Amino acid sequence: MLKGIPKILSPELLKVLCEMGHGDRIVIGDGNFPAETMGKNAIVIRMDGHGTCDVLEAILKVFPLDTYVEKPVSLMEVVPGDNVETPIWDEYEKLVAAEDARGKKAIGYIERFAFYEEAKKAYAVIATGEGALYANVMLQKGVVV
């Protein structure tokens, strides 16, 4: 056991977060995200019993967001014509603001298929059991100063 490390962060996930370098990205996928397909060239970590907010909050405690890009946090845009509410995005804004002074300004939005293409280049993909729609989030790692 270690002090100060959120208990949800498994040894496997902590190792991956430590291995990642500046500019590397990690995807936290909701329960519908094709984690194994998108993560063919990445490390896929299963966290099926957890929601994206809990995972995001824990990761942001130890993971610096990239300060050299305008939007180090990316969310998958709602497909035009989908009549879907995304209240989870409000929660993401609060979690990001708690750890990064840019707050909501650090969050950008990527069209669905462009998000998939970017996810294929990620260092790691986390598969959660999140039931909210459009709850996928991608983080770009910064540096510890």
- C-beta separation of 136 from 40 below 8 A: no
Q: 90 catalytic, yes or no?
A: no
DSSP secondary structure, 13-78, as one string: HHHHHHH--TT-EEEEE-TTS-HHHHTTTSEEEEETTS-HHHHHHHHHHH-PBPSSSS--EEEEPP
Spatial distance between the Cα atoms of 31 and 135, rounded to a whole number of angstroms: 9
Catalytic, 50? Answer no
24, 50, 109, 116: which one is catalytic? 116
Of 22, 48, 82, 90, catalytic: 22
Coarse DSSP helix, strand, coil percentages of the chain, rounded to the nearest 5 percent: 35, 20, 45
Is 82 part of the annotated catalytic residue set? Answer: no
Give me the catalytic one of 30, 66, 92, 123. Answer: 66
Active site members: 22, 66, 116
